[in-house]
Amino acid sequence: MLFSDPKTLAIVILTGTVPAFLWLVFWLREDKENPEPKGLLALVFIMGAASVWLVLPIQKIIQGLSLPHTWELIAWAGTEEVIKLITVWLIVSSTEEADEPTDWPIYLITVALGFAALENILFLVRPFSVGETAVALLTGQLRFLGSTLLHTVASGIIGISMGLSFYMSGAKKTLYVIIGIFVAIALHSMFNFFIIQGEGGQILKALSFLWVATIIVFLLFEKLRRMDLSDK
């Protein structure tokens, strides 16, 4: 059994969390001018992982509704993105730390990577538990390129929308956030759709599209950094 073997369990945890930590280090370096409190970031990351246990039963209920496949994928993606957003909002909005446009994408990306870390571990449990080490390691690498990055970009899009509307108020601010949520859900759903197709060409197309979205998020983050500096 996997959980009776501490060494194997440690490998599963490392394989699942290292991709998330690598992406987290990358994005936190982008916010090095005025970094967020490490304790708060750690809490957001941990609660992002914990939110997986809230998402799973909701997705199980959705599966039981017998929705058309496309709508089921959209509902699943929507559940994940909304729960991650709510998690960040409940933790961060009660503090005074989100005081710059770049802060919201940093917190949204952090919660997403916490979510992805535990999701990766759960996906790796089965292949490791039956001795399929090569399959598990390949799965870990693909999730670094795919699912982990997907969570980062999707939640990053919502954070970017909150950052772009940072100095706005009322309906315009709400509209930006709603658009960000819809774009994130659409990206998440399309990626899942192509991956489930299981064909090499479709998977490559999904990964290529995801990397393009990553570049766009990075460029928009740079715009938010300029907004940070202009306010000083």
What are the residue ranges spanned by the domains of the chain? 2-230
Helix axes 69-92, 170-197, angle to 10 degrees: 130
Question: pLDDT at residue 79 above 50?
Answer: yes
- Find the mean pLDDT for residues 182-189: 94
Q: Who wins on pLDDT, 10 or 76?
A: 76
Q: How large a percentage of the chain has pLDDT more than 70?
A: 86
Instruction: Round to whole Å and give the CA distance between 114 and 41.
Output: 10
Instruction: Round to whole Å and give the CA distance between 167 and 156.
Output: 18
Give the chain's mean pLDDT: 85
192 neighbors 76 (Cβ within 8 angstroms)? yes
- Find the mean pLDDT for residues 152-175: 94
Instruction: Round to whole Å and give the CA distance between 146 and 155.
Output: 14
Question: pLDDT at residue 192 above 90?
Answer: no
Helix axes 103-129, 200-230, angle to 10 degrees: 150
Q: What is the reported pLDDT for 14?
A: 81
Amino acid at 7: K
Question: pLDDT at residue 145 above 50?
Answer: yes
Taking alpha carbons only, the member of 206, 154, 163 closest to residue 181 is 154
Q: Who wins on pLDDT, 34 or 150?
A: 150
Q: What is the reported pLDDT for 136?
A: 42
- Find the mean pLDDT for residues 102-123: 92
Helix axes 103-129, 52-64, angle to 10 degrees: 70
Residue 163 has phi, psi (to 5 degrees) of -70, -40
- Structure confidence by residue, pLDDT tens digits, 57-73: 999 999 999 899 899 99
Question: pLDDT at residue 170 above 80?
Answer: yes
Q: What is the reported pLDDT for 25?
A: 92
Instruction: Round to whole Å and give the CA distance between 132 and 157.
Output: 35
Q: What is the reported pLDDT for 4?
A: 57
Tokens standing for residue 64: 């039981």
pLDDT band of 140, cuts 50, 70, 90:
very low
Sort residue 50 into left (φ over 0), alpha (ψ -120 to 50) or beta.
alpha
**CA 195 to centroid of chain Cα atoms:** 17
Instruction: Round to whole Å and give the CA distance between 122 and 140.
Output: 11
pLDDT band of 217, cuts 50, 70, 90:
very high
Question: pLDDT at residue 196 above 50?
Answer: yes
Number of Cβ within a 10 Å radius of residue 105: 28
